[in-house]
Structure 1
Amino acid sequence: MKSTSALSTLLLLLPAFAAGDAAFEQRCSDLDGSFNAANTEVILAGYVAQGTNITFPESAANSCPKFTIALADMCRLRLNVTTSSTSSVIVEVFMPTNWASKRFLMTGNGGLGGCIQYNDMTYGTALGFAVVGHDNGHAGDTGLPFLNRPQVIKDYAWRALYRAGKIGKRAINHFYPGSIQKSYYMGCSSGGRQGMKAAQEFPEEYDGIVSAAPAIDFHGVLSTGGHFVQAVGPPGSPTNLNLDQWNAVHQMVIRQCDGIDGVLDNVLEDPMKCQPRPEELLCGPGQTWASHQCLTAPQVESVRTIYSPIYGNGGRLIQPRLNPLTREFLGYRVSYGGVPSYLSEGWYKYALFNDPAWNMATDFNLNVIDRDFRKDLFEVSTNKTDLTNAKNNGTRILMYHGLSDGLITSENSYRYYERVSRDMGLPSSQLDEFYRFFPISGLDHCYTGDGAWFVGGSVQYSPAGALDIDPSDSVLMTMVKWVEEGIAPNTLMGRKLVGGVVQGARAHCKHPLKTTYKGVGDPNLPSSWECRTA
């Protein structure tokens, strides 16, 4: 972390609650005995200085992050919260010495939900939040703990988030002399789904919810894993494309659609206007990938399938098409590379069927999708469109989604937003009071991309240069201004961060307005764009 970064400057401006105060450190270590709550065990309570490398015991045996660097002096509290006779949740509470804001931040998870987003937590403390994270009821990004353990599934669906928030707030209010004044949530992917679950079921817990690339319509999202693996076949099969071939498809989409928005920048400002024609890459007689970088007819058909909606039994729309930019490695590895998605297969095998022998490549079909939708274990679908309680509570919801997301199609978020509008009978002008949606061009799944992808959101703080960007217009602080100052956002500032250097910026417009190039000016400057109705 650079001492001259924008974040470091902000830290210097925050008034210290007890920086360097031995009493703060002692009060922190005393939590081991002073903090008591039903069904809760204190595992660790200790002071952590800024710059400390924090490691995590649960990460040694799984793919979760192995360490994070503390960005503020803080008290760390680690808890084990029992949720049933067969389930429990690990909860982490980071409480900075600088807590003049008296703000609470809950962080989300990802995938099948067992990794705590420690980087989000440390960044939150640097901004003066007391922050909570949790393992969603099991360690590691795997569905194996779901096997014959329905209470663990319940934790994953919603209970871990709810209980962790409750116990985290209690710990924070116990530790500090003052009480929490405002509560916020931030998460992406499964964490985005968790945010929308809170908005749907217990909005009273949060004043502001930031939900990114949410895995709402959960069963539809998972169905893509099975549908795609059967469509493209395993690596080496006639219908499969390797990563180099998918990169060629990506470039084909750029050639066909990049100019639609008036700027050639490898970014589609409105990908729903793009209808790729993969036949452009079709091999002629005697041509091969090795000789002409072309695709066979079966491979072209695979591309057509990936870029088409998924329909189930009776013609039911299961999931909109994948975004027509497919270069991101995560999407290739999890969705359309031909290897069964560990996310989808882990859910079907261990949660839906309770059968370790179940195989997605051979056992998946449309009836499986129907069964998953029908059972909707603990309402994990997160499909409720009546947000009246959130509206009445005054909870603000800011949802954003990358328009080159290669894992969860951004059309899923458009679809949900419009369903909320219809089902609540509220046009956008009235939804704006409490719920706003921002499509982010050039953003892949949660982070990175070819466009102005950095909005200061969940899991975006690890890349080089991220901590050097002024956090004042980040999505989290934008939400704070909306909640605490009544300044509702019409745009969300994004920056093109490449190799640690900001190479451009764009103010992404609130849906249903479109971020539109004015026709003149440097397209890397926000002033060259405006929000239009079409």
Structure 2
Amino acid sequence: MKTMAFVSCLFLAPALADAATCEQLAASLKLTNAKVTSAEAVTSGTFMEQKNLPPFCRVQLTLTPSSDSDIKSELWLPLNNWNGKFQQVGNGAWAGSIQYGALAEGLRRGYATASTDAGHTGTDASFAMGHPEKLKDFGYRAVHETAAQSKSTITNFYGMAPKLSYFNGCSGGGRMAFQEAQRFPADFDAILAGAPGYNRVNQSVWMLMNAKATLDNPASFIPPAKYAVLHRAALDACDAQDGLKDGLISEPLSCHVDPAVLQCGGSRVLSDPANCLTAPQVEAARKLYAGVTNPKTGERIFPRLEPGSELSWGGPAGGPEPLAVGADLFKFVVFKDPKWDFRKFDLARDYDAVHKVDSLDLSPTSPDLEAFVARGGKLLIYQGWADQNVAPQSTVDYYNNVARTIGQKQVDDSVRLFFAPGMAHCGGGEGPNVFDALASLE
């Protein structure tokens, strides 16, 4: 019975953390290449726009793994009823802010939870121009350093390390998730990666070429009102392929849509300008359905927009500029010119220059997850079939590459890939697209 009582005391130790202990962290905690800049107890139940919060210790950290680093991270520690686990959340696009909504969600469920701005403030990539170390911070260091320093802080605060550590991110957060599994296999026990934009450089080329397909020539522009026309044609061609006509395309990889069936002229319906495409618009749609290949080698650079994604084409093809998440790579990293005009980009001429900046710093494409799965790590990947910002085929390609590299048995034991018909990028769309991310990790 004495042994049982002792174990119970150890289990209850996290509950003994209090507001006073929290506010001492800034002065008492010594970290390597990091500093606690603020530690305060939040007991009002509200923080910024987040409501119904349990009492927590808000820890703000500044991380400096290089002399040019200025990574801001936050760690929220439950003052009561910590579940013994740690969850870190990712960022989309170019990051640049703390994800308070995601922090609040984890906190309400008892997690110690962390987020980082990935080394800069703002939504674009201007931080990277002339600052290669900051680009490394964004690429992979900020997430890893946040995990390491958060775990040290958790151990100091509660007197014990987290028993399980999870990472959860979509889009750019999915890219972060892949960096962690590949580079730092000991950081997290389970990782949830949604719509992973892991091939960042080639994906940016694809985003640029999607925009150029409809924006280079005004005659090629596809008005948003015609996305529904294209979508109906895709459903007519492929909805029933899975045996159920339900308004969703469940097997888009085997679906072929020829936009020429919508070209104006001929039948009564296709004589109505609202329900047909001009010849230049047909050609633009074909380019979007084709993906991007290297004109010199014929090698595929990035796969296509899948049939079923048409209702979300406003982002990749609606203009007046390409998606900033892609265009900023060219402005601030490749050509180092904030005024760079995407219309000047020539794929045959410029792709080699673009590819020179490609490295594992930005694009975690390595399929070698041996170290991660060997220690028992679990990687869950999810992807919407109607994603307009990450080509679903690229996610399939990564999964298959992992299976070829470490073997199907290890993949079956440790890696899962789930597809959601009709789901757009990280959510939205006509299909089911809301689920409990934390529950899937647990």
> What's the TM-score, normalizing by structure 2?
0.91
How far the C-alpha of 1:338 sits from its partner, in A, is 5.2
Q: How does 1:135-154 map to 2 (within 5 A)?
A: 135-154=117-136
How far the C-alpha of 1:202 sits from its partner, in A, is 0.8
| Matching residue within 296, 302, 325 for 1:319 | 302
* Aligned counterpart, 2:31: 37
How far the C-alpha of 1:87 sits from its partner, in A, is 2.0
**1:289–1:295: 8 Å Cα contact kept in structure 2?**
no
**2:139–2:361: 8 Å Cα contact kept in structure 1?**
yes
> Cα distance 1:423–1:39, how it changes in 2: closer, same or farther (>3 A)?
closer
Q: How does 1:336-347 map to 2 (within 5 A)?
A: 337=319, 339-347=321-329
* Aligned counterpart, 2:377: 395
Where 2:65 maps in the other structure, the secondary structure is strand
Q: How does 1:78-117 map to 2 (within 5 A)?
A: 78-117=60-99
> Cα distance 1:335–1:196, how it changes in 2: closer, same or farther (>3 A)?
farther
**1:306–1:336: 8 Å Cα contact kept in structure 2?**
no
For residues 358 and 384 of structure 2, what CA distance do their matches in structure 1 show?
26
Where 1:68 maps in the other structure, the secondary structure is coil
> Cα distance 1:133–1:287, how it changes in 2: closer, same or farther (>3 A)?
same
**2:238–2:255: 8 Å Cα contact kept in structure 1?**
yes
* Aligned counterpart, 1:452: 432
* Aligned counterpart, 1:24: 18
Structure having the higher helix fraction is: 2
Query: In structure 2, what residue type is equivalent to 1:279?
Result: A
* Aligned counterpart, 2:104: 122
Query: In structure 1, what residue type is equivalent to 2:68?
Result: T
Where 1:205 maps in the other structure, the secondary structure is coil
Q: How does 1:430-449 map to 2 (within 5 A)?
A: 430-449=410-429
For residues 155 and 292 of structure 1, what CA distance do their matches in structure 2 show?
48
Q: How does 1:275-286 map to 2 (within 5 A)?
A: 275-284=256-265
**2:13–2:158: 8 Å Cα contact kept in structure 1?**
no
For residues 274 and 328 of structure 2, what CA distance do their matches in structure 1 show?
39
**2:203–2:390: 8 Å Cα contact kept in structure 1?**
yes
* Aligned counterpart, 1:46: 40
How far the C-alpha of 1:43 sits from its partner, in A, is 3.0
For residues 185 and 366 of structure 1, what CA distance do their matches in structure 2 show?
38
Q: How does 1:281-430 map to 2 (within 5 A)?
A: 281-284=262-265, 291-312=273-294, 313-329=296-312, 331-335=313-317, 337=319, 339-377=321-359, 379-424=361-406, 426-427=407-408, 429-430=409-410
> Cα distance 1:309–1:434, how it changes in 2: closer, same or farther (>3 A)?
same
How far the C-alpha of 1:17 sits from its partner, in A, is 5.7
> Cα distance 1:323–1:116, how it changes in 2: closer, same or farther (>3 A)?
farther
For residues 98 and 322 of structure 1, what CA distance do their matches in structure 2 show?
47
**1:328–1:444: 8 Å Cα contact kept in structure 2?**
no
Question: Which segments of 5 or more consecutive residues in structure 2 lack a partner in the other structure?
Answer: 1-11
For residues 402 and 230 of structure 1, what CA distance do their matches in structure 2 show?
24
* Aligned counterpart, 2:439: 477
How far the C-alpha of 1:81 sits from its partner, in A, is 1.3
* Aligned counterpart, 1:239: 220
**2:248–2:421: 8 Å Cα contact kept in structure 1?**
yes
How far the C-alpha of 1:50 sits from its partner, in A, is 6.4
Where 1:121 maps in the other structure, the secondary structure is helix
Deviations 1:93-117 (A, max 9, x none): 0111344421111111110121322
Query: In structure 2, what residue type is equivalent to 1:104?
Result: F
For residues 13 and 102 of structure 2, what CA distance do their matches in structure 1 show?
21
Query: In structure 2, what residue type is equivalent to 1:456?
Result: D
How far the C-alpha of 1:441 sits from its partner, in A, is 1.6
> Cα distance 1:355–1:254, how it changes in 2: closer, same or farther (>3 A)?
same
> Cα distance 1:335–1:297, how it changes in 2: closer, same or farther (>3 A)?
closer
* Aligned counterpart, 1:498: none
How far the C-alpha of 1:335 sits from its partner, in A, is 4.7
> Cα distance 1:228–1:244, how it changes in 2: closer, same or farther (>3 A)?
same
Question: Which segments of 5 or more consecutive residues in structure 1 lack a partner in the other structure?
Answer: 1-14, 55-66, 458-475, 481-534
Where 1:417 maps in the other structure, the secondary structure is helix
Larger deviation, residues 166-175 vs 33-42? 33-42
For residues 338 and 357 of structure 1, what CA distance do their matches in structure 2 show?
15
Deviations 1:104-143 (A, max 9, x none): 1111111012132222211111222111100011112211
For residues 136 and 32 of structure 1, what CA distance do their matches in structure 2 show?
21
Where 2:165 maps in the other structure, the secondary structure is strand
How far the C-alpha of 1:85 sits from its partner, in A, is 1.9
For residues 290 and 122 of structure 1, what CA distance do their matches in structure 2 show?
51
For residues 112 and 394 of structure 2, what CA distance do their matches in structure 1 show?
32
> What's the TM-score, normalizing by structure 1?
0.76
Aligned residues: 429
* Aligned counterpart, 2:8: none
Q: CA RMSD in A?
A: 2.3
**1:311–1:317: 8 Å Cα contact kept in structure 2?**
yes
Q: How does 1:171-320 map to 2 (within 5 A)?
A: 171-233=153-215, 237-284=218-265, 291-312=273-294, 313-320=296-303
**2:14–2:160: 8 Å Cα contact kept in structure 1?**
no
> Cα distance 1:105–1:292, how it changes in 2: closer, same or farther (>3 A)?
closer
> Cα distance 1:302–1:400, how it changes in 2: closer, same or farther (>3 A)?
same
Q: State yes or no: 1:77 paired with 2:71.
A: no
How far the C-alpha of 1:69 sits from its partner, in A, is 3.4
Where 2:250 maps in the other structure, the secondary structure is coil
**2:14–2:159: 8 Å Cα contact kept in structure 1?**
no
> Cα distance 1:367–1:101, how it changes in 2: closer, same or farther (>3 A)?
farther
Query: In structure 2, what residue type is equivalent to 1:259?
Result: A
**2:87–2:167: 8 Å Cα contact kept in structure 1?**
yes
Larger deviation, residues 255-264 vs 279-288? 279-288
> Cα distance 1:366–1:115, how it changes in 2: closer, same or farther (>3 A)?
farther
**1:105–1:186: 8 Å Cα contact kept in structure 2?**
yes
Query: In structure 1, what residue type is equivalent to 2:228?
Result: N
Query: In structure 2, what residue type is equivalent to 1:436?
Result: R
Q: Percent identity?
A: 29
For residues 339 and 434 of structure 2, what CA distance do their matches in structure 1 show?
41
For residues 449 and 24 of structure 1, what CA distance do their matches in structure 2 show?
44
How far the C-alpha of 1:351 sits from its partner, in A, is 1.3
How far the C-alpha of 1:364 sits from its partner, in A, is 4.3
Deviations 1:322-370 (A, max 9, x none): 12123454x5224554522211211111112222232222134244333
**1:188–1:214: 8 Å Cα contact kept in structure 2?**
yes
Structure having the higher strand fraction is: 1
Where 1:94 maps in the other structure, the secondary structure is strand
Query: In structure 2, what residue type is equivalent to 1:322?
Result: L
For residues 270 and 161 of structure 1, what CA distance do their matches in structure 2 show?
35
